[in-house]
Structure 1
Amino acid sequence: MTSMRHLHLDPLKRQPLLKDQTTPNEEDTTKLPVKKVHTDPQGSNNNEDASVYFIGTATTIIEWQGLRILTDPNFLHAGDHVHLGPGVTAQRKTNPAVDLHELPAIDCILLSHYHEDHFDQLVEKSLSRTFNIITTPHAKECLSGETKGDPFQSVHDLGFFESMILHIDRKDPSHAGGYGKVPVIKVTGMPGKHVPPGPLAMVNDLIKAVPPTNGWLIELGYSFTAPTGGDSGSIDTGYRIYISGDTLFVDELKEIPKRLKNEKIDLMLVHLGGTTIPSPSIPLLMVTMDAEQGLKLMQLMNPDVTIPIHYDDYNVFLSPLSDFKKKVDEEGWNKRVVYLDRGEQYEFKVPGN
């Protein structure tokens, strides 16, 4: 059994995200260009203290307690191309809500897999090599392996159901040397399959054209400091975010609610689009969920709120967002879905403080 790993992040002493940046600090005042704010469709008490900002494709910023997590960074523009496998390219159809160099200070990156539409070449060339990245074992090898010419030095890999605690190390005088609650974020790798089971998966295992992928469970909550200092090991989870990653609806996903033991998922970010290889005109292989599979995942996970992402940014998507909306409406789930356009933000409350 893998022991719990820990990563300490201080929003007041951040590492620079980009190679050409100076170290961000508490004076960073960069604001995201928020076009519209959404809240819980079931109603709001106007006490939201956390948010998800949608940049485009699978790129979001999750923010709570001053900590910002950037997911699957892709900042290419309309007309740019990415390489997705032998002989397979995709063209971006949209622009991101904000450019890479315009981001506010970020604390870590959560990378579901090593694919250019989730970690593009611009990002790879521009990022500071000491910046913290949490990702799959395969992506860690690609980013920091011995064959890498300019390796990343702070890559943390999580397999399925392996976890890491992100400690938010603000210098809070009320907790210094005493007993109390301190905010933490627990990140756990979740199962995902980018290639359907069967002969094609066996072939992919040999040629490694499509990389392995993770989903994620992000638990926002509080840890209890012991009277003598240190962490008591107990975490009070206030809010759970499940990110599907680039997966199909496969049997392995059914293990997730079993592991949660009826603990609810508050928010689900679902990767849709029905990505097809080599293209929608020649749909030989589907590698992400389409509308029907996305609805099945909602029914399996039963989240309070679902936000679809990764659905129209590249020309390899076969299943448009309108298909998902139709399925959701037909099955009566429409009151539990929030649709974000690029540049829009969903705000929510994390109980427990």
Structure 2
Amino acid sequence: MKHLEIKPGEKPPTRDFPTEKGFSNANLQPAEVKVHPSGSGDENASIFFVGTATTILEWEGIRVMTDPNFLHAGDHVHLGPGVTGTRKTNPAIDLHDLPNIDLVLLSHYHADHFDQKVEESLRRDLPIITTPHAASHLKGKGEGEAFTEVYDLDFYNNMLVDVKKDGAQPGKSPAIKVTGMPGKHVPSGVLGSLNDLVNAVPPTNGWMVELGYNTSGGSDDSFKCGYRIYISGDTLMVDELKEIPERYKGQNIDLMLIHLGGTTVPSPSVPLLMITMDAKQGLELVRLINPDLTIPIHYDDYDVFLSPLSDFKKAMEDAGLSSKVVYLDRKDQYKFQVKQ
């Protein structure tokens, strides 16, 4: 298992924050705070929804950001040969107004998950966990532009992020175990083989993020999980996902962040190929993974989405699963409890 040590700090997430504004490490201010329908009352961690697939996880003084995309309405992204997407919404917070970020989870090297402004602006020593494909791009930039703390995880590879927090209990320090999960933007077969040949759509990961504590010395077998989050990433409902519940049999999955939208290329008006789950596939994944709770993300921020969130809401209602999902608007926060 790979290891990474992080000490929550006061560094700005970007290297080019406006000097006239300075850097503020103030807490995020949610528009609305939501909890599990059963509500434990002892919530000690949170997820803030920025927009598209960008979220900020806060726990034990550390902040983890997923798939940073901070473009605004009207901005464009390149999604493949001859394919562009236009953003329809604004993020809940601007890139240069972010508080400190300690770690980035990047599911794949696609501009709607790591946009051109993010790529230009993020500080180069910000730790990033991502796919081997994305890592090669981020580390392969020219002198002064390459990202220096990039860690690649393939499917089912994992690493332990040790949180070096002042005042941690002796013999019990917070840690995050990150495991790469399978995902496919393009289905197997002729289309998949063609995509592999021309590299039109990049390979993608999901993640299993386990929040917990090292109980003795930080060895690989001393980690005890207190909360488990599965992040689907940009994937279709492919056979490879069926291995996930087998590998985690007997281990509860507390939360799933599911990427939806039914992304189509080249556009919803010419839907030649769907590359992320629509509502039907999303319901299939909920049934397969069977998390305690699901939060849908990545569903309406760009004009390439064919399946609106309302489709997923109806599918969950028709399946009798409405109590197993929480919906967040941009700038909403979900709070939950990590057990010790």
Fold shared by both chains (TM-score > 0.5): yes
Q: Shorter-chain-normalised TM-score: which range?
A: over 0.9
Residue type at the aligned position of 1:39: V
Instruction: Note the residue ranges of structure 1 that are not aligned, 5 or more in a row.
Output: none
Q: Tell me the CA shift for residue 21 of structure 1.
A: 5.5
Distance of aligned partners of 1:237 and 1:96 in 2 relative to their CA distance in 1, 3 Å threshold: same
Query: In structure 2, which of residues 76, 81, 93 is the aligned counterpart of residue 81 of structure 1?
Result: 76
Is 1:275 the equivalent of 2:270? Answer: no
Aligned to 2:287: 299
Contact preservation (8 Å) 2:12, 2:99? no
Equivalences for residues 157-236 of structure 1 within 5 A: 157-172=152-167, 174-175=169-170, 180-226=171-217, 231=219, 233-236=221-224
* Identity, % of aligned positions: 61
Structure 1 counterpart of 2:222, which letter?
Answer: S
Displacement after TM superposition at 1:236 (Å) = 1.0
- Matching residue within 28, 35, 39 for 1:32: 28
Contact 1:189/1:215 (CA < 8 Å) preserved in 2? yes
Match of 1:288 in 2: 276
Distance across 2 between alignment mates of 1:197 and 1:135: 22
Give 1:172 deviation, angstroms.
2.0
Q: Scaled by the length of structure 2, what TM-score is found?
A: 0.95
Question: What residue in structure 2 maps to residue 10 of structure 1?
Answer: 7
Mapped partners of 2:143, 2:238: distance in 1: 33
Corresponding residue for residue 64 of structure 2: 69
Q: Is the 8 A contact 1:17 1:106 kept in 2?
A: yes
Larger mean CA deviation between 302-311 and 193-202 belongs to 193-202
Q: Would the alpha carbon gap of residues 39 and 173 (structure 1) be closer, same or farther in structure 2, given more than 3 Å must change?
A: closer
Cα pair 2:24 2:97 within 8 Å, conserved: no
**C-alpha distance in 2 between matches for 1:96 and 1:291:** 23
2:236 corresponds in structure 1 to 248
Report if the CA contact (8 A) 1:162-1:189 is conserved.
Answer: yes
State the Cα distance separating 1:29 from its structure 2 match.
Answer: 4.2
Q: Between 142-151 and 108-117, report the one with greater CA deviation.
A: 142-151
Match of 2:226 among 238, 248, 254: 238
In structure 2, distance between residues paired with 1:107 and 1:315: 31
Q: How many angstroms does 1:282 deviate by?
A: 0.3
Please identify, of 82-91 and 137-146, the stretch whose mean Cα deviation from structure 2 is larger. Answer: 137-146
* C-alpha RMSD of matched pairs (Å): 1.7
CA distance in 2, matches of 1:225, 1:169: 14
Q: Give secondary structure in 1 for the equivalent of 2:172.
A: strand
Q: Which residue of 2 aligns with 1:118?
A: 113
Q: Distance in 2 between matches of 1:173 and 1:100?
A: 31
Specify whether residues 28 and 102 from structure 1 end up closer, same or farther in structure 2 by C-alpha distance, changes over 3 A only: closer
| 3-state SS of paired residue (1:253) | helix
Length-normalised TM-score, structure 1: 0.92
User: What amino acid is aligned across from residue 297 of structure 2 in structure 1?
Assistant: I
1:137 maps to which residue? 132
